[in-house]
Amino acid sequence: MLRLHNTMTRSVDEFRPLVPGQVGLYTCGLTVYNYAHIGNLRTYIFEDVLKRVLMLSGYKVRHVMNITDVGHLTSDADVGEDKMEVGAAREGKSAWEIAEFFQRAFVRDLHRLNILEPDTWCRATDHITEQIELVRRLEEKGFTYAIKGDGVYFDTARLPDYGKLVRLDAEGLRAGARIEMVAGKRNPTDFALWKFSPRGSKRQMEWPSPWGVGFPGWHVECSAMAVKHLGERMDIHCGGVDHQAVHHTNEIAQTESAYGHPWVNWWIHGEWLVLPKEGGEAAKMSKSAENFLTLDLLIKKGYEPLAFRYFCLNAHYRQQLAFTWQALDAAANAYSHQRRTVQDLRPGHRPGDKPIEQHMAVFRAAAEDDLNMPQALAAMWAVAKDERAQGGEVYATLLEMDRVLGLGIEQMEEGELAISRAEIQKLIDDRAAARQAGRFAHADQIRQQLAAMGIILEDSPSGTTWRRA
Ligand code: AMP
Ligand code: ZN
């Protein structure tokens, strides 16, 4: 029996889909004005595990993920700049080019982490008509009002259960009042459905609408696209916990008001990846705070992407995970150990070998208990170390478990590195210094020295990375 935590009910409940055997899953995608940071990627790994557990439990999953390429403002209070235009100004490119570039980078990161791609990708800018249609519906039902020169807003006072996802109370509303508020908003929690382009200036991304030239509010995109691709009711909607109070709360308000019935059965949220601060509280990794690390950086430092996946699996998705290099090292070591085990077992594996049911039962129970991956990993190690079991069957069991873990057991080929990551990085730095000083022969010698150890260097404008040969 699959049990999952539902933010709406605040409890771990038995999962029941709308249609037996099928699951509609919507996951909020990246705002593509920069690279995904490893905090974002933690959330996509958790959602991937959810999808894989649903599949292991026998469900046919229809997964939709959006790409936010317009309308996500730098402040949740409907003020500030569009993040896409901020990214465009930063890179000296158009907002369209930025969106294209970072969407590609995002998909590449997902592949490197063995995250299964959604069945449907949908971009906000490809769904402007659907978003206008949703706002029109809300307007017809009397849920909207316009603020001159600013935009069309949703009147949250019209909805008695506004904020039910996070049980927004009077205190919460008062706290809301302290935040920066757009002049003309009727209630602090009201939110933009359509923003007008600023008078006298032209945005790179803008469209005509019945209310004036402008662009859709961020929350509208997810409601419009989720309904288009998964229907008026759906099983599961996911994101990080930072989406609960504003983004998902507003998605619920506008969708349920537009369609007149409950919308999503299960809201599932992943906790943050945080960076511990010396002498202070750990801080959420975030692009706006500029305290973020990317997967590229981890790779550059010599970590395998799947070692980061292993690192994430080691914590329950509803608990904050503190990122430190020591903790990542520990995960990388465990991952290497797993590789050695797999390589030892593989020669004994025969095509007919079956997974060992006793071990699978323990694994499945952990996975189906609200995605308890730390326990699932423990079950994986238990079978790997089971000396009484036949090696080929142990290998078959690991392969079966990997349908959920996604650690790439079948592809694990490489042996141990002949040199530590720190030493590789030092040689890369020495080579860069040699090249800068014009000592090219020495630089080449370092490249060859690493090649002899099975380490291939790759140069790019952003620096040198390495991979196994
Ligand atoms: P965004 O691009 O800001 O829309 O974020 C993409 C996804 O990453 C959302 O599901 C966020 O909730 C999630 N997210 C953002 N920051 C973190 C973090 N530090 N840890 C985990 N998830 C995060
Ligand atoms: Zn969303």
Give percent helix, percent strand, percent coil of the chain, each to the nearest 5. Answer: 45, 15, 35
Q: From ligand 1's centre to the CA of 67, what distance in Å? A: 13
- What's the confidence (pLDDT) of residue 9? 96
Strand spans (E) along 287-361:
321-322
For the chain, list residues with pLDDT below 50: 170-171, 174
Which residues, judged by CB distance below 6 Å to any ligand atom, belong to the binding site of ligand 1? Answer: 28, 30-31, 39-40, 42-43, 68, 239-240, 242-243, 270, 272-273, 284-286
CA of 409 relative to ligand 1 center, distance in Å: 28
Under 8 Å CB-to-CB from 285, ≥6 apart: which residues? 37, 38, 39, 272, 273, 274, 275, 291, 292, 293, 323
Question: Taking a C-beta distance cutoff of 8 angstroms, is the pair 309, 113 a contact?
Answer: yes
Instruction: Say whether 464 sits in a helix, a strand or coil.
Output: strand
Q: Which atom of ligand 1 is nearest to the CA of 29?
A: 6
Identify the CA nearest to 316 among candidates 23, 38, 42: 42
Q: CA torsion angle for 256, 62, 67, 208 (degrees, to 10)? A: -50
Distance CA 103, CA 72 (A): 15
The number of the ligand nearest the C-alpha atom of 284 reads 1
Compute the distance from residue 179 Cα to the ligand 1 centre, in Å.
Answer: 21
Alpha carbon distance 98, 89 (integer Å): 10
Strand 455-460 to strand 191-196: parallel, antiparallel, or no bridges (unpaired)?
Answer: unpaired
Cα 39 to ligand 1 centroid, rounded to whole Å: 6
Strands (E), 167-229: 191-196, 214-216
> Atom of ligand 1 at shortest distance to CA of 43?
22
Instruction: With H, G, I as helix, E, B as strand and everything else as coil, classify residue 83.
Output: helix
Write down the pLDDT at residue 415: 57
Q: pTM (2 decimals)?
A: 0.88
Laid out side by side, the sheet with 151-154 consists of: 144-147, 151-154, 191-196, 214-216
Residues 235 and 23 sit within 8 Å (Cβ to Cβ): yes
* pLDDT tens digits along 390-406: 999 999 999 999 999 99
Closest ligand to the CA of 124? 2
Pocket test for ligand 1, best of 40, 49, 287, 295 (most atoms within 8 A of CB): 40
Please name the residue whose Cα sits nearest to atom 12 of ligand 1. Answer: 240
> Which residues lie closer than 8 Å to 362 by C-beta, 6 or more apart?
379, 382
Looking at all shown ligands, the one closest to residue 247's CA atom is 2
Question: Three-state DSSP class for 62?
Answer: strand
The closest ligand to the CA of 319 turns out to be 1
Q: Which atom of ligand 1 is nearest to the CA of 241?
A: 12
Q: How far is the CA of 9 from the centre of ligand 2 (A)?
A: 20
The protein residues having their C-beta less than 5 angstroms from ligand 2 (an ion) are 28, 222
